[in-house]
Structures are given as C-alpha cells and as structure tokens.
Amino acid sequence: MIAWNEENTIDLSLKSIKNLADEVVIADTGSFDGTVKKALDCLDKFDLSGEVLRVKSHSLGEARLAAFDKCSENWILLMDSNLVLSEALKKEMLDASRKGYVSLVSSLNLMGDYEHYFTPLPFHGHHNTLFRRDHVKWKETFDRPTLSFLAKRREIKHWAVNLSRVRPAWRYWYRGEAFDPKHSKNRDYRTDSNIQYKWLRSVKYPSLVEYVKSEMGLTLNDVKNFAPSWFLDLVRKYAKPLELSMKEKLPEVIKEELSNPRFKLKYKGDKIIGRHPEL
C-alpha cells in the first residue's frame, strides 16, 4: 500500500482488508498530516501484522516497489490507501487467484463525500490488484518502475470504491489529479493541471510542497486558504448523487460510514453550498 497524506481515508482502506491480508507493508512518501500515526494505530486496531516505511521517492512506482520488496508472502495485494474493497469483491478475487489469474479490479470514483460520484469518470479501471509474486516482474519505463504481468488477467465483476476525491480540499489540490478532459477521456496524467506530475518530473525538490512553494509561490497555508472554494466549484460541477444500484453495491465499510460521514455535502434547495467539515 502506498500513502501520502491519507489520514482521512487510510483507516477505511485498512479496515476493508483486515480479514484478507496476512501482512501489510505501507510505503509513506512524506505525509505531514498524521497518516503514519493513523496507519500504525489501525494496524494495531484491526490486528494486522505489518509496518510503515518512510520512502523518499519521485514516482509512485518507486514507492510501490519499495513496499513490494518488503513483502514476505507469496501472494501480493496491491492497494492504494484510498481504495476500499467489499466482501463480494474479495471473494471473487480469491476465486480468480485460486485459478491462477491476476485480478483486475475497477473502482467507483466517489466525489466530495460518500453519496456522490464523479460524473466525467464514474469508474476507474482497471487496477492489477491481487497476484502471485512469481507472476510479475518489474521493468523500467520512461519515468518509473512498473509491473509487467506473466500470467493471464481476469476482470472482476464486483468493483471497489476509490476515495481519491473524498479528501480535504488542500490535500486534493496538492495531489494534482486533473479535472481535465484529456485526463478523463484518455487516462493521460501528463496535463498542465496535474501538479503532481510536474513535480515527479523534477529532481530538484524533495517534496511536492517545496516544489509548489518554489515554483508557484504558494505555501501550505496559502493552499489551505484557497483550496476549499476551488474544490467547491468542482463539486458543484462534477458531483452527482449515487444511483440506487451503486448504493446497493457499496463496500460494507462505506455503508457504515454513511451513518456518520466525515465528509457530507451541504445543500440550500437543490444547490450545493458547502461540505462538512471544511467548506
């Protein structure tokens, strides 16, 4: 599992795999929001054996490789700290693995809270999620290590939930996921609006925060001040209430979250006017 400032989502991700993983290796790439402590607390709370690595990396591939190399088991579950699995999904993945397949899992992109989805790209697919160690090898690409698969892959019918847009506004702005037609249509991260990609291509700055401060003149406090209004505009533009079929298939961890959500959109009439607790 890789993580960067995921204090608001990592507990949900870990809770969803507590009866699946024998060990958890988390590669943290420089969080400063309490992610590491939250991760360690959750490992203990959910009775998960594991560790948190502090990884200095200029690509997510390098961070994944660091975690991969620390895993001692034969089967690898490749996770992001904003990905949440359902019981039905886990069962289907295990069935596929017993037949020697690599599991390909798509994920529903929630938007702003736990009851709305992201309309330009409702589903993100597919993640190479569960595989045997000897079914993959790492190779160098133009900017990062990536996995090459030696076994057949199977698309899993059930989907996960991606919480990449259910984050504090400042953290979401820093991560630089593009609200860009080029990104949504072609899955191309190399866009002008993707700040993270620009930083990853730079070798001058050890952190994304330092890159933004030096290259854009914005401090962390600056970002925290303007990000809520920036994100509210995006929520109004791209958030749509979940369809009934989506609600029914939400992972159990997310269904529990709906009774006391940490992020909830606020309305005045039919207009979104904010989000608890920050907007």
Verify cis geometry, omega within 30 degrees of 0, for the bond prior to 122.
Answer: no
Task: Say what the pLDDT of residue 169 is.
Answer: 92
Task: Say what the pLDDT of residue 206 is.
Answer: 79
Residue 142 in this model has a pLDDT that exceeds 60: no
**In the chain, what is the straight-line distance between the N-terminal and C-terminal CA atoms, in Å?**
29
The token pair at 252 is 């159990």
Specify the residue for token string 């050890």: 206
- Give the pLDDT confidence of 56-92 residue by residue, as tens digits: 876 778 888 899 999 998 999 999 999 999 999 999 9
- Give the pLDDT confidence of 212-238 residue by residue, as tens digits: 999 999 999 999 999 999 999 999 999
Nearest to 199 by CA among 52, 39, 30: 30
- Give the pLDDT confidence of 6-61 residue by residue, as tens digits: 999 999 999 999 999 999 999 998 888 999 999 999 999 999 999 999 988 767 78
Helix (H) or strand (E) holding 208: helix 208-216
Specify the amino acid at residue 139: K
Average pLDDT score over residue span 96-122: 93
**Cα 245 to Cα 268: distance, rounded to the nearest angstrom:** 26
Task: Say what the pLDDT of residue 159 is.
Answer: 96
The token pair at 165 is 């847009």
**Cα 250 to Cα 233: distance, rounded to the nearest angstrom:** 26
Find residue 24's DSSP bridge partners.
Answer: 50
Task: Write down the number of H helices and E strands in the chain.
Answer: 11, 15
Task: Say what the pLDDT of residue 197 is.
Answer: 75
Residue 175 in this model has a pLDDT that exceeds 80: no
Task: Say what the pLDDT of residue 229 is.
Answer: 94
Write the CB contacts of 176 (distance below 8 Å, at least 6 apart in sequence): 193, 194, 195, 196, 197, 198, 199, 208
What pTM was estimated for this model as a whole?
Answer: 0.90
Q: Which of 29-38, 92-101, 197-206 has the lowest mean pLDDT?
A: 197-206
Q: Which residue has the higher pLDDT, 277 or 147?
A: 277
